[in-house]
Structure 1
C-alpha cells in the first residue's frame, strides 16, 4: 500500500484536498471516483524532489475520436434540455465510460467554474478539440445557440465515425481471406512440398520446376523476408522524403485525383468532409471566410487545399463562394451547382449539409459495390493460386504411381 496526495472537485463543485491509501495510483483514482470526487491532480508521496502537484493525470495524448463523439452527443443533449452547463458537465463526468474522458470533462468543469468560457477551456485542450470544433463552439456561445450548435457538431462527428466504421467493417472479410491465403502458402511451402520432394529423388524422376521454386523459397525464406523488409523500409523512407517537400506532395496529390476510379472516390470524400464542416460552421454563425478557412483544414489532399486557399483569397476580395470554388478548385459538378443554388437562395448552410449527405451516400454506394466485387475476386484468386501450386505436384505424384504400377 502507498500514500497518494490528491486535489479534486466534489459533485457540488467544491474543492477537496488530502491523502489516500491505495495499492497503486490507478486504484487511488478509482477510490476517489467512488467517493464522488473528481481528481485533477494525483501523485504518490515519495519524498523525492519532484513535487506531487506537478504530476497531473495524463490523457495519453488525447482522447479517442469515439470519446469525443460520446462527449459531444451527451453534452449536447443535456444542454438542449436547458440544464446548466456546469451541471451538464458533472452529469457527463459521472456517466463517462473511460477514465480519460472523465479527466477531460473534469478539466473543462474546473475551467468553467473559474469563469472561463467553454470554448476557451476547450482551446486549452488542443490535443483533444480541433480548431474547427472550438470555432463552432465559440460562435454558438456568442450567438446564444450553444445547444443547437453542439447538436450539429455531434451529428458531424457521428457521420465521420460512421463512414470510418463502415469502411473498416467492409475490410474485415477480405482481410481474413488474405490472412488465410498466406497461412495456406506457409503450410504448402513449409510442410507439404518438403515432405513430397523425397518421392521424386527416390524414384529417379526430376523434381518439377514448381516444386523446385517452392523448395528454394522455403530454404531461403529468412533472406527473402529480410529483402522484402529492406524494400519496404527503403520505399517508406523515400516516400516520406518525397512527401516532406510541399510542392512535390501537392503535385502528387493532384496526380492521385486524376486516377480513373480512385481519384473520383477521393474527390467525393474530400468534398463531403469540406461541405459538411463548412455547413456546420455556417449554421453556428461563423463568418464565411473564417468558416471556409477552418473547413479547408479538414481536407487532406494538398492539391485541393491549395485551390481552397486561392478561393478564400477570392472570397476576401468580394467573390461569391460558388464562383471562387468553380474558378480555383475542381469539385464535383453537383456540389458546385447546389452551392450556387444555396447561395442565391440564402440557404447556403442547409445546402452544404445536403451536398455532404448526397456525396456520403454516393461514397457508401461505391464502397458497397467495390466490396461486393472484391470478395468473390479474392476468393477466385486464392483458389487459382492454391490450385496452381497443387496441380503440378499432384500430376507428378500420379505419374510416379503410374510408373510403379507398370
Structure 2
C-alpha cells in the first residue's frame, strides 16, 4: 500500500494534516470521513511516487482530466434527473453512459460502486477531492440531510456557471493586452539582434563620436547578440523558479497578495474573488450549512490564498463568539459599503440575502471593469510603444542627422 499526505477539516472547520496508508486516495478519503474529517486534498507522498517507472509517469501526464465543464454538466443533468423522479443509481448510470470525458466517466463509475457499497452520496463524491471540492461536498451533505438534493444540485450548477463566467470574462479581457505586450517584446528582440547590428556597421564608418543614446543602444544590442543563449536560459530558469516558488503555500500567498496591488488588474482580481466569496457564502448559509463551515467552504472558492486567509481569520473570530460584522471589520479587507450591508443583514436576520446582493454588486462591477479594461490599458500600451519608438528613432537616426549636417556644411 502507498502513503498519502492529506489536508482536511473537522466538524468545527479546523485544518488537520497528516499521512495515512491506503490502497488509493479514495480509500484514504473513506478513512478520513469515518473520522469526521472532510478531505481538502489527498496526494501520494513523493517518496512513494519516486519509484514509479517512466511509463506510469507518461500515463499520468497525458491521461484526460476532469474539466470544470464536466462538473457543470454533471450537476445540471443530475438535478434534472432527480427532479423528474429518476432514482439516483439509474441517474448515475445514465450519466456514466453519456459522459464524453473518460476521466469523468471513471469518476461516475466509482461513485456508483461506492453507493452500491452502502455509502452516502456525499461520502462517495468525497472520494475524489480533486474533482469535487469541500464546498461541493458540504452542499451535497446538506441536500441529503434535508431531502432537497435536486434543489442543491441546481444551486451548485448556478454557482459553477457563475464561477465559469467570471473566469472566462477575465481571460478574454486580458487576451488583447497580453498579445500586445508579447508583440512588443518580440519586436525588441528582433530589432536588437538583427536591425541595430546592421546600422552599427554604418556608424563604424563615420569616424565620429556617436550620441549617448546611440552608444547605449549599440551596447545593449551587442550584449544581446553575444549573450542571448545565456539570457534565454536565464529566462527559462526564472520561469521555473517562479513556478516552484508559487507552488509553495507561502510563495503562492505572497504572489497573490502582490497580484492584488497590480494597477488595473489587481482590482479586477479582488472584486472577482469577493463576488465568488459572497455568492458561495450566501448559497451555503441559505442551504443550511453551519456558519463556520460556510465561511471555511467559501474560502476555498475565492481562488486567492491571501483572501482565503482573511476569510479563515473571519471564521476564527466568529468561532470566538464575535459577530460576522466584527469579524469582517477585524479582517480589514471589506469596503464600508459591504460592512454596512453585512450589518443590515445580521440585524434583520437576512444575512444570506445581503451577501447575495454583495455578490451581485461585485459581479456588476467586474463586468464593467472588464468592458472598460481595454480603454484603461490602451493609454499605457500607447505610452510604452511610443517610448520604445522614440528611443529607437533617437538612437538610430540622430547620428545620420548629424552626418547629414556635416555633409551640408562641407
TM-score over 0.5 (shorter chain): yes
Does 2:192 correspond to 1:189?
A: yes
Instruction: State how far apart, in whole Å, the 2-side matches of 1:307 and 1:268 are.
Output: 19
Matches within 5 A, 1:46-195: 63-195=66-198
Aligned to 2:231: 225
Q: CA RMSD in A?
A: 3.8
Report the number of matched residues. 346
Instruction: State how far apart, in whole Å, the 1-side matches of 2:221 and 2:336 are.
Output: 54
Q: Secondary structure at the match of 1:86?
A: helix
Does 2:217 correspond to 1:214?
A: yes
Instruction: State how far apart, in whole Å, the 1-side matches of 2:148 and 2:247 are.
Output: 46
Does 2:335 correspond to 1:332?
A: yes
Q: CA deviation at 1:306?
A: 4.8
Q: CA deviation at 1:149?
A: 0.8
Q: CA deviation at 1:297?
A: 3.8
TM-score, normalization by structure 1 = 0.72
Aligned to 1:309: 315
Aligned match for 1:284, one of 262, 284, 287: 287
Q: 1:200 to 1:257 in 2, by over 3 A?
A: closer
CA contact (8 A) 1:145 1:284 kept: no
TM-score, normalization by structure 2 = 0.71
Structure with max Cα Rg:
1
Instruction: State how far apart, in whole Å, the 1-side matches of 2:198 and 2:266 are.
Output: 48
Instruction: State how far apart, in whole Å, the 1-side matches of 2:156 and 2:240 are.
Output: 41
Q: Secondary structure at the match of 2:90?
A: helix
Higher normalized contact order (CA 8 Å, seq sep 6+, divided by chain length) = 2
Matches within 5 A, 1:227-266: 229=235, 232=238, 236=242, 244=250
Q: CA deviation at 1:189?
A: 1.3
Q: CA deviation at 1:344?
A: 3.5
Q: CA deviation at 1:128?
A: 1.1
Instruction: State how far apart, in whole Å, the 2-side matches of 1:184 and 1:260 are.
Output: 25
Q: CA deviation at 1:257?
A: 7.0
Instruction: State how far apart, in whole Å, the 2-side matches of 1:259 and 1:214 are.
Output: 30
Q: Secondary structure at the match of 2:203?
A: helix
CA contact (8 A) 1:208 1:392 kept: yes
Instruction: State how far apart, in whole Å, the 1-side matches of 2:114 and 2:247 are.
Output: 42
Q: Which consecutive residues of structure 2, in runs of 5 or more, have no partner in the other structure?
A: 1-51, 53-58
Instruction: State how far apart, in whole Å, the 2-side matches of 1:183 and 1:253 are.
Output: 27
